[in-house]
């Protein structure tokens, strides 16, 4: 019986792209369980700290405990990006889309996906000190290195933590409780929390733009799309109540 030779040329690139995307999503879902356990551990630790404060434990003792908390280094999840090599040649840039077309693109991407389940919790309605916020952001940075493209809700939650940390940073600087070489918050975040300055700025902007439009977080478009179009979309929704109603 003659054997059939199997070659890469026989595989349609659309099949390869679909397989890669499926592999990425399945891997992300597996890692989500790990990140959820990390988030539960962090919440448990925060609960213990709050209980110690309620029982009158000295703040110096609590700060010492927080500083000695072991840091968890999460593995970075490599992901493959599907590309069509046959169309990789330089092409003319696409025509600029209208605001309505961008909104429709978001609406078309509103499909349920298990990988969109949040793994980075949002802040609770309480005050956080800067060391606690630093620990939260350091852990979140590792998580986002794996899931950023797929989970807007996690990026939004990290943006909320960053806004709290920015306020705590400036308060600590003004009160003389923090010794740092500059008053630039994003420099401190990059050095102490391993979140690049540009990303920290993007995440905070994302929260400020879409805080009033929570359904945007269910969109399955990658965050890179919002880096490019987020400002235009937010301005359009703020100026058009009828269009904004679908995203409240």
> pLDDT tens digits, residue range 21-77?
667 666 766 666 676 777 777 777 777 888 888 888 888 887 887 777 776 666 666
Sorting pLDDT into bands at 50, 70 and 90, what band is 4?
very low
Mean pLDDT of 126-155: 83
Q: How distant is the alpha carbon of residue 159 from its chain centre? A: 8
Measured CA to CA, the distance from residue 120 to residue 17 in angstroms comes to: 28
Query: Which tokens is 215 given?
Result: 């359904």
Inform me whether the pLDDT recorded for 144 exceeds 80.
no
Check residues 48 and 104 and name the one with the higher pLDDT: 104
Please enumerate, as own/partner, the contacts of 77-85 that have beta carbons within 8 Å and a separation of 24 or more.
77/27, 77/28, 77/31, 77/145, 77/146, 77/147, 79/24, 79/27, 79/28, 79/146, 79/149, 80/20, 80/23, 80/24, 81/20, 82/16, 82/17, 82/20, 82/21, 83/17, 84/13, 84/17, 85/13
Inform me whether the pLDDT recorded for 79 exceeds 50.
yes
Residue showing tokens 């999503």: 25
Q: How distant is the alpha carbon of residue 84 from its chain centre? A: 27
b or e along 213-242 (b: 16 or more beta carbons within 10 Å of the residue's beta carbon)? beebbbbbbebebbeebbeebbebbeeeee
Q: What's the mean per-residue pLDDT of the chain?
A: 79
Query: Which tokens is 92 given?
Result: 């003319």
The pLDDT score that the predictor gives to residue 146 is 67
Check residues 118 and 243 and name the one with the higher pLDDT: 243
Percentage of residues of the chain with pLDDT beyond 70: 72
| Polymer length in residues for the chain | 248
What are the residues whose beta carbons fall under 8 Å from the beta carbon of 23, sequence distance 6 or more? 80
The pLDDT score that the predictor gives to residue 166 is 95
Sorting pLDDT into bands at 50, 70 and 90, what band is 1?
very low
pTM confidence score: 0.63
Inform me whether the pLDDT recorded for 131 exceeds 80.
yes
Measured CA to CA, the distance from residue 20 to residue 79 in angstroms comes to: 9
Percentage of residues of the chain with pLDDT beyond 90: 35
Q: For 183-240, how does the pLDDT look when each residue is reduced to its tens digit (9 = 90+)?
A: 899 999 999 999 999 999 999 999 999 999 999 998 888 888 899 999 999 999 999 9
Q: What are phi and psi of 210, to 5 degrees?
A: -120, 15
């Amino acid at each position: 019986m003659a054997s059939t030779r199997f070659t890469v040329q026989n595989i349609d690139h659309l099949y390869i792209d679909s397989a890669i995307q499926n592999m990425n999503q399945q891997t992300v879902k597996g890692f989500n369980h790990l990140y959820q356990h990390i988030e539960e551990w962090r919440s448990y630790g925060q609960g213990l700290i709050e209980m110690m404060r309620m029982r009158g434990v000295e703040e110096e003792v609590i700060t010492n405990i927080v500083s000695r908390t072991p840091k968890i280094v999460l593995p970075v999840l490599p992901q493959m990006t599907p590309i069509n090599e046959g169309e990789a040649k330089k092409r003319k840039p696409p025509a600029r889309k209208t605001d309505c077309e961008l909104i429709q693109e978001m609406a078309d991407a509103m499909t349920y996906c298990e990988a969109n389940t949040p793994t980075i919790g949002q802040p609770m309605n309480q005050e956080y000190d800067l060391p606690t916020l630093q620990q939260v952001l350091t852990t979140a940075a590792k998580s986002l290195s794996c899931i950023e493209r797929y989970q807007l809700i996690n990026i939004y939650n990290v943006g909320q933590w960053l806004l709290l940390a920015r306020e705590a940073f400036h308060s600590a600087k003004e009160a003389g409780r923090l010794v740092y070489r500059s008053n630039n918050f994003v420099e401190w975040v990059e050095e102490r929390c391993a979140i690049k300055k540009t990303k920290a700025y993007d995440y905070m902007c994302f929260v400020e733009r879409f805080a009033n439009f929570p359904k945007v977080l269910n969109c399955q478009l990658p965050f890179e799309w919002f880096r490019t179009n987020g400002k235009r979309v937010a301005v359009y929704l703020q100026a058009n109540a009828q269009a904004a109603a679908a995203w409240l």
